Amino acid sequence: MIIKENQDEILGYLEDSSNFSGGHCDKVYIPENEKEIVEIIQMCNSKNIPLTISGGGTGTVGGRIPTEGSVISLEKMNRITDIRNDTAICEAGVIINQFLSESEKIGRFYPPFPTERNAFIGGNASTNASGEYSFRFGATRRYVRKIRMITGSGKLIEVPRGRYFADDRGIIKTDFIEVKRPSYTTPKIKCSAGYFSTPGMDLIDLIIGSEGTLGVITSVEVMLVEKLPDRFIMIFFLPSEERMFEFLYDVKKNFIRDLYTLEFFDESSLFFLQSDFPEIPGNSCAFYMESVNTTELMEKWLELSERYQAKDVWVGSDPKNYQRLIDFRHRLPENINSYFRKLKITKISLDIAVPEENFRELVAFYRRFSSQSGIRTVLFGHIGENHLHFNLFPVDEREKNLARQIYISCVEKALSLGGTISAEHGIGKIKYPYLRMMYGDSGIDDMINVKKTFDPRGLMNRNNLFPFELFFRKM
Ligand SMILES: Cc1cc2nc3c(=O)[nH]c(=O)nc-3n(C[C@H](O)[C@H](O)[C@H](O)COP(=O)(O)OP(=O)(O)OC[C@H]3O[C@@H](n4cnc5c(N)ncnc54)[C@H](O)[C@@H]3O)c2cc1C
């Protein structure tokens, strides 16, 4: 095991892809097996040392940033221990990009990977990540069959899917733990907000998306699907947002069977792609879709583009153009982040999803702020799942205050529409106030009780999901 104590070497572990600053820790442990992890956690328990878990560091909510104590990094636990047919067993530190390549080699595919492929598979399970194919295949949760985890009290547990369920009182009883699920019910939409909870739920679903607050996931067994059929990508540049919902519902009604991805970029977001793709037509917004590749389907799509008077249509059906359009999609979050980082402007970013019937109302609500607040905004993302990222870029104190108020208004609106405050990025250290708005004090109390069952001293990933003071107030 490597232990890093030199602060220069530790610096990289004090950040992720969020704006959360002020990270601090005294040591970074880099174990190579479960036995070493058990020893580290037991030592931390005996000395009361808080421990923060580090994956690939691509999280956007400060989850892996320590505020005290030590860090445990999974970077050396990066072996794919088995991969065949529809199953793979990965140590938590396997990098998603590498895993996708290995799956491809055996003619299989792992669908729920996030856009940022430097993430680790353990980080994905811990945040219930999803990505460009979740429109068709769903989030990480659906693919995890078994988890091995060292709990906050230092116990190795193995939780297969389908073995431990909540009873009528919400209690999940096993030979290693007895835990009561939170009394709220997680909305049935794309959601990564707090512990998952539904009547009769499976214990494994409590661990998936728990953001490292219950223990260190050491390995995950996941399901692989068949290699995807030949596909093409098309990007439709529509002249305005006026007909965007008509277009969306037309696509969902007539093309859904063969569709793999359905995303949207507003005019402001296209601005950030202009330097890489100068041929983007002006005054347009774009729909990005990926479909099974047949001549008949391609013709149908082109007819659709004519009906909606698209300003331009880009097609990626051969490997070179397909990759170019993948790059188009992937560049956007990176370009936005680097543009505003250079200007030292902190973005305020919403990750809300709502049920389909209320989606239009939410977007209209966002649009009022885009036009009236004077703050620069972008709107893009997973329109097929009623989940768009609405980002605000306030430039001074006045705008910052206004942006915070807008954030709260949008959260209130989303909750009134049956939505979630986080569809994919999680809560980490920055979204607790909104999690509280979503589930109330009693929901937070229920989460704290779950954490106490796995991590009685409250050492693991302090300040993720809720401030650790709340945990101790309830001791
Ligand atoms: C450009 C960009 C695009 C992105 N696109 C998407 C997207 O499409 N979809 C999406 O869902 N997310 C996306 N993300 C966010 C991020 O990639 C995901 O949240 C990812 O799952 C984080 O994985 P990681 O290994 O980097 O975790 P980290 O950032 O290291 O950690 C994330 C959280 O998981 C915990 N954790 C990590 N490993 C473990 C473990 N072994 N056991 C227990 N807890 C652990 C950490 O403590 C932390 O709380 C994007 C981020 C960026 C920068």
**Dist CA 390 CA 39 (whole Å):** 43
If you measure from the C-alpha of residue 94 to the centroid of ligand 1, how many angstroms do you get, rounded to a whole number?
Answer: 13
Per-chain mean pLDDT for the chain: 95
Does 2-73 carry CATH code 3.30.43.10? yes
Confidence band for 475, pLDDT divided at 50, 70 and 90: low
Using the predicted structure, report yes or no on whether residue 113 has a pLDDT greater than 70. Answer: yes
For the ranges 70-84, 134-148, 341-355, the lowest mean pLDDT is seen at 341-355
If you measure from the C-alpha of residue 458 to the centroid of ligand 1, how many angstroms do you get, rounded to a whole number?
Answer: 22
If you measure from the C-alpha of residue 313 to the centroid of ligand 1, how many angstroms do you get, rounded to a whole number?
Answer: 33
pLDDT at 343: 82
Ligand 1, residues 30, 127, 269: which to mutate, most atoms within 8 A of Cβ?
A: 127
Ligand 1, residues 53, 214, 389: which to mutate, most atoms within 8 A of Cβ?
A: 53
Ligand 1 atom nearest the C-alpha of 216 is 42
- List Cβ neighbours of 154 (8 Å cut-off, separation of 6 or more): 38, 41, 42, 45
Ligand 1, residues 32, 60, 128: which to mutate, most atoms within 8 A of Cβ?
A: 60
**Dist CA 410 CA 422 (whole Å):** 12
Ligand 1 atom nearest the C-alpha of 16 is 29
**Dist CA 430 CA 465 (whole Å):** 8
Residues lining ligand 1, Cβ inside 6 A: 16-17, 53-60, 63-64, 74, 92, 114-116, 119-120, 122-124, 126-127, 129-131, 211-212, 216-217, 333-334, 424-425, 428, 461, 464
pLDDT at 474: 56
pLDDT at 228: 94
pLDDT at 338: 85
If you measure from the C-alpha of residue 280 to the centroid of ligand 1, how many angstroms do you get, rounded to a whole number?
Answer: 31
Ligand 1 atom nearest the C-alpha of 118 is 26
pTM of the model: 0.94
Which residue's CA is the nearest one to ligand 1's atom 36? 123
Instruction: Determine the average pLDDT of the residues in 272-288.
Output: 95
- Domain layout of the chain by residue ranges: 2-73, 80-226+444-473, 231-350+352-416
Which residue's CA is the nearest one to ligand 1's atom 13? 114
Burial class of residue 442 (count of CB atoms within 10 Å of its CB; 0-12, 13-18, 19+): exposed
Q: Measured on CA atoms in the order 334, 187, 416, 466, is the torsion positive or negative?
A: negative
**Dist CA 335 CA 252 (whole Å):** 29
- Both structure tokens of 383: 């329109």
pLDDT at 208: 98
Amino acid 148 reads R
Same fold flag, 2-73 and 231-350+352-416: no
CATH fold for domain 231-350+352-416: Vanillyl-alcohol Oxidase; Chain A, domain 3 (3.40.462)
pLDDT at 341: 81
CATH code: domain 80-226+444-473 is 3.30.465.10
